[in-house]
Amino acid sequence: MPTNAIGGRNIQDWKAIALSGVAGGVAGCVAKTVVAPLDRVKILFQTSNPDFQKYAGTWSGMFRAVGEIYQDRGVRGLLQGHSATLLRIFPYAAIKFMAYDQVHHFLMPTPSQETNIRRFIAGASAGTVSILFTYPLELIRVRLAFETRSASNPTFRPTLSHVISQVYHEGKSSTTASSSRSRIFTTFPILKFYRGFSVSIIGMIPYSGTSFLMWGFLRSHFLPRPSLETSSNGKALSTSRSRPKPTPVADLALGGLSGAVAQTVSYPFEIIRRRMQVGGIISPDQWMSWKDTVQMIWNKNGWRGFYVGLSIGYVKIVPMTAVSYAVWEWGKRFLNV
């Protein structure tokens, strides 16, 4: 038995956990970079940025919006806010995939114990843990992507420090912010970095849970692990001589389908979250609760308002999730996890 142990686990166990996190973090960064231009346009549509509302609602509008941003600011415009994305996504993806591996092992140590409910719980738990640690970085990223060139200041380009300062000082100069909610956020400005946090947690449960559920379900059918039986001396024996070899193409296909289903289930929550995250820009002197935000979206666009940008969401989420899962699996195989 290894003598080097921490918290009941040997050093090899902790090394495997850390390497799983590294593979997940790299996977997240690669996937987000692949879809960064689409991600920015999606945020502009979801948050009803007035400069881009004329493009929302159609497939061609998505590409016209990308073209306008590229013509106006080039590649830098398409990647605006991407530095904050990478700053957030590495720890987010690392924690999410690492947590999923651990919860999955705890709930389903053998293939015979895998169920769709347990897969969902493992995925939802992993997503919730990751967002708890990285949410302020997500809000800053959205604010960076939301900012566009104004007529009064055509050369303005938001920076990370500018957005952090803007969020921190929102509402301080207002004389009308008299509600108890406003006073709380004036007294504790750091909480302004958690606009939309509650609805993010609510939305993360169906998104991450469904994504990992579908990933596990599809892999169990197309790339099943060998089932195990126990011999008379207690040793685990495989009842399957071989298993289909996982390939990057298979990982991409299964990951893309998992992402599409998860996006469909959770998209309304994402719309609400985005609107709350940019609430400090649209209504700097009023704290919009998730109920207020839902009512505002419904009054303006009805049920369709909760699905604005869904088409571009599919165009973005399918390749992003496919690449994320594929790179994660490749990374674990490469690192021998």
Percent of residues, the chain, with pLDDT higher than 70: 80
Report the distance separating Cα 334 and Cα 246, nearest Å: 13
**Tokens 């893309």, located at residue:** 256
Query: pLDDT-based confidence at 283, cuts 50/70/90?
Result: low
CA atoms within 13 A on the CB side of 104: 22
- Mention every residue, 6+ apart, whose C-beta is less than 8 A from residue 306: 267, 268, 271, 272, 297
Confidence of residue 2 (pLDDT cuts 50, 70, 90): very low
Residues 96-130 pLDDT 10s = 999 999 999 999 988 889 999 999 999 999 999 99
How large is the average pLDDT for residues 298-302? Answer: 87
- Conformational region of residue 8, where left means phi above 0, alpha means psi within -120 to 50, and beta covers everything else: left
Question: Which one, of 201, 197, 326, 195, lies nearest residue 266 by Cα?
Answer: 201
pLDDT value of position 181: 61
Closest listed residue to residue 26, CA positions, set 327, 308, 334, 332 = 327
Residue 60 has pLDDT above 90, yes or no: no
Asked whether residue 188 carries a pLDDT value surpassing 90, the answer given is no
Report whether CATH 3.40.50.300 matches the domain 19-169+178-223+248-335.
Answer: no
Summarize the confidence of residues 313-335 as an average pLDDT: 91
Residue 231 has pLDDT above 60, yes or no: no
**Where are the chain's structural domains?**
19-169+178-223+248-335
At CA 279, angle to CA 313 and CA 55, rounded to 5?
40
Question: What's the rounded mean pLDDT across residues 1-26?
Answer: 73
Question: How far is it, in rounded angstroms, from Cα 153 to Cα 157?
Answer: 9
Which pLDDT score, from 0 to 100, does residue 233 have? 54
Q: Which residues of 94-107 are buried (b: 16+ CB within 10 A; e: fewer)?
A: bbbbbbbbbbbeeb
Q: Is the pLDDT of residue 251 over 80?
A: yes
Which pLDDT score is estimated for 1?
Answer: 42
- Say which residue, 291 or 149, is predicted with more confidence: 291
Q: Kindly give, in sequence order, each residue whose CB lies less than 8 Å from that of residue 273, ignoring residues fewer than 6 positions away.
A: 196, 199, 200, 203
Q: Averaged over 175-198, what is the pLDDT?
A: 70
Q: Flag whether pLDDT at 241 surpasses 70.
A: no
- Render the burial of 246-259: b for 16+ CB within 10 Å, e for the rest: beeebbbbbbbbbb
Q: What angle do CA 139, 194, 98 make, to 5 degrees?
A: 75
Would you state the structure tokens that stand for residue 330, as one six-digit string? 């490749």
Provide the whole-model pTM: 0.72
| Strand-pair category, 228-230 with 236-238 | antiparallel
Question: Using an 8 Å Cβ cutoff, are 192 and 284 in contact?
Answer: no
* Closest among 74, 82, 68, 67 to 35, alpha carbons compared: 82
Instruction: Determine the pLDDT at residue 176.
Output: 47
Q: For a pLDDT cut of 90, what percent of the chain falls above it?
A: 29
Q: Is the pLDDT of residue 80 over 90?
A: no
Q: What is the pLDDT of residue 216?
A: 94
Contacts of 189 (CB under 8 A, 6+ apart): 168, 169, 172
Residue 129: per-residue pLDDT: 94
Nearest one of 80, 92, 167, 164 to 126, comparing CA atoms: 92
Q: What is the pLDDT of residue 139?
A: 86
